[in-house]
Amino acid sequence: MQTDFQWESKLAQETAKAFPPGMRIFAPYRDPSELQPWVHGRHQGTVLAIDDPKAWSGSLAFPGQRPNKVKVSAYVRGCLAQGLLQGKVPVRWSFGKIHWETLDSLLPWTPLEKP
């Protein structure tokens, strides 16, 4: 999955390299508790491009809207120019929601090991 967004920030470029769109990830803080491992399995997520309209649909930036790629790219470009969105990526989680996650909370997907 490629994005045609022209990255305007070095950190945004490094983010795209470390967690490119389409990469399968997990966040250890979302793992099941050691005390209650039966609650749910490890949540998988897929990284989305920061200018993916799905990541912005219905957000505070576009309330009640499904913005197109042009509007989202313009908005993201403005955010990056202000130093916003640095170190964050949108993730579509296996439970159906899209959340913005910090890079330091994500790891590449690895299945849980069976004892």
Q: In angstroms, rounded to a whole number, what is the distance separating the alpha carbons of residues 31 and 40?
A: 8
Looking at the structure of the chain, the number of domains it has is 1
> Is residue 54 within 8 Å of 98, Cβ to Cβ?
yes
Listed as ranges, residues in the chain with pLDDT below 70 are 1-16, 31-41, 110-115
Q: Which of 106, 1, 94 is nearest to 51 (CA)?
A: 1
Residues of the domain holding 64: 1-29+60-105
> Is residue 52 within 8 Å of 90, Cβ to Cβ?
yes
Q: In angstroms, rounded to a whole number, what is the distance separating the alpha carbons of residues 32 and 28?
A: 9
Residue-level pLDDT at 79: 92
* Assigned domain for 2 exists: yes
What is the phi/psi pair of residue 94, to 5°? -60, -20
* Assigned domain for 87 exists: yes
* Assigned domain for 47 exists: no
Residue-level pLDDT at 13: 60
* Assigned domain for 49 exists: no
Residue-level pLDDT at 112: 59
Residue-level pLDDT at 52: 95
DSSP 47-87: E--TT-HHHHTTSSSSTT----HHHHHHHHHHHHHTT-STT
* Assigned domain for 10 exists: yes
* Assigned domain for 112 exists: no
Residue-level pLDDT at 16: 61
Residue-level pLDDT at 19: 83
* Assigned domain for 8 exists: yes
Residue-level pLDDT at 32: 62
* Assigned domain for 79 exists: yes
